[in-house]
Amino acid sequence: MKKITLALTLLTSMSFVFGQVSESVFLQAGYTNQSYYHLDNGEVTNVDNTNWDLAFDASSMGGSIRINGSYGTKLYLFGDANSWSSVDTVGFSWNEIINSDLSWSDGAFNSNSNSFTDYGWGEYSMISHFISGKTVHIIKFLDGSCKKIQIEKLLSGTYHFKYANLDGSNEVDTTVSKSDYAGKNFGYYSIQNDSALDREPIADSWHLVFTKYI
């Protein structure tokens, strides 16, 4: 089933007409919410869109990782996987990378992909059949604080990643498993709250999503 994303930039609510049916969805002041809508059954759910930082592709073959750019999260490529212990912003070129606005399969972490086995953040092995991380990124939040982050691997449907303060303190090693989000497009994670989030309805239960975009 194809999904259509309608991005709202000027209104916090939208009225729309399908045949003889007129409906409205409300995204709250500042577009803080996100609405999933079914053309026959109406709004499926209306959820907070400010409580996550990362979105991990939950499809069986997907490896997309997106950031919450609409809420001010920014991402920068620092270096290769060996640069984890040497992250330093002195002289760093803050070249922001963003999610694709054309495909959910191309998240900010997937930037600079060079081949069909290259996922940007990692490389797929035809021998081991898992994606091994190859990059270190800096992630910046709305309040201006930063952390370094490395997606280490995607193995047997589980994303393994770590993040820490830029000086290496407060390191967190954690995972997000696709199996926890069966039938959904993405599983979510809040770095600022150190927790995974299940915030999407089942993909087959909605047709439209009303949301804010960067």
Whose CA is closest to 182, among 44, 58, 65? 58
DSSP string over 75-127: EEEEEEGGGGGG---TT----EE---SS-TT--GGGTT--STTB-SSEEE-TT
Q: Is the pLDDT of residue 9 over 60?
A: no
**Which residues, at least 6 apart from 175, have a Cβ–Cβ distance to it below 8 Å?**
158, 159, 160, 161
User: Is 0.75 surpassed by the pTM of this model?
Assistant: yes
Beta carbons of 35 and 206 less than 8 angstroms apart: no
**Model pLDDT for residues 157-209, shown as the tens digit of each residue:** 999 999 999 999 999 999 999 999 999 999 999 999 999 999 999 999 999 99
Distances (CA, A) of 137 to 14, 60, 105, 124, 164: 36, 25, 19, 19, 11
The pLDDT tens digits of the residues spanning 13-24 come to 556 665 667 889
Alpha-carbon span 33 to 184, nearest angstrom: 18
Name 101's Cβ contacts closer than 8 Å, sequence gap at least 6.
Answer: 213, 214
Of 159 and 114, the one with more pLDDT: 159
Task: For tokens 């606005």, name the residue.
Answer: 101
